[in-house]
Structure 1
Amino acid sequence: MPAFLRTVIERRGDARAIVLAKHDQFPCLSAYDPAYAALKHAKIERLAEKQETDPASELDYLRRTMMAFGATEEVPYDSSGRIIVPPMMRRKGGLADLALFLGVGETFQIWNPDEFLKHPDIPEDLKDICRFRLEERGL
């Protein structure tokens, strides 16, 4: 895991761990520090309050909380930032030998670089960064 992400995670709390989940829109993993879980829960609650007049809102709320908290895995990392992504999360994220870490505000994403480069909704400027990183590795 890149140092720039570890620095943010360690500033937010003592846990040397990240939480992994299947991203809800992209073929990658969404990741965040354990302290972010409380903030994520508050966001889901606020959304539910906005939608409470909708008859389907309770089921939507249940689905969101199930995916946000039931379909996640907390993974520790060592002092150099190495993590072992569990097999189910590797499958959910389509990860192989290499991983691309992409900071996206309060969270970050972990992509298979090949999938990232093929995805039609990824801006070309970001794909250029991915290509550069692969070239740096001689790939």
Structure 2
Amino acid sequence: MSVFLGTHQNRFDAKGRVSIPAPFRNALKALQSGDGALVILRPSHLHPCIEAWPPASFGALARPLDDIDIFSEEHDDLAASLYADAYPIDSDKEGRIILPDMLRQHAGLSDDVTFMGLGRVFQIWEPGAAIKRREEARLRTRTTLAQRSASSIKGSDA
């Protein structure tokens, strides 16, 4: 199974292109089926970053729409939040992509870009925000694990 691992930094070139890190390109190509886009980019709902989805994973993300009445407001809201700002992107021969302006603005990107692997997807961040995000995630994870550990100890004392 191909997954996105690690954190990589690149720069925009003079033409506004940025290279997807080679390990991420390799994973995307391994996951690619058919002649569709290499990756689907969309703004994160939770963070000031860009989410990068392999097309099959993006399809799985959208599957809950199949269970909602197509004429409902709930369906319309979910469809708009998933599709309206999603961009299918292909890279050139060197693995470079051009990020739509709306996505660049959402993530606050200027010259440098950080690619963060999250297993089945990856994110594109402004480097300082990426560092802060990883630090916050580690702190919350330690807190959550400590709480679970304390809870399991109390449960075994009962």
Instruction: Tell me if TM exceeds 0.5.
Output: yes
The residue that corresponds to 2:126 in the other structure is 112
- Gaps of at least 5 residues in structure 1 are 53-57, 125-139
The residue that corresponds to 1:65 in the other structure is 79
Matched to 1:114, the amino acid is G
Partner SS for 2:97: coil
**Identical-pair percentage:** 26
**What TM-score does the superposition give when structure 1 sets the normalisation length?**
0.70
The residue that corresponds to 1:26 in the other structure is 47
Matched to 1:62, the amino acid is D
The residue that corresponds to 1:10 in the other structure is 29
- Going from structure 1 to structure 2, the CA distance change for 1:6 and 1:16 (only over 3 Å counts) comes to farther
The residue that corresponds to 1:135 in the other structure is none
The residue that corresponds to 1:123 in the other structure is 138
Could you list the runs of 4 or more consecutive aligned residues of structure 1 that deviate by over 6 angstroms after TM superposition? Answer: none
- Gaps of at least 5 residues in structure 2 are 1-19, 140-158
**What TM-score does the superposition give when structure 2 sets the normalisation length?**
0.62
The residue that corresponds to 2:148 in the other structure is none
Work out which structure has the larger RCO, using CA pairs closer than 8 Å and 6 or more positions apart in sequence.
2
Q: Provide the aligned C-alpha RMSD in A.
A: 2.3
Structure of higher CA gyration radius: 2
The residue that corresponds to 1:37 in the other structure is 58
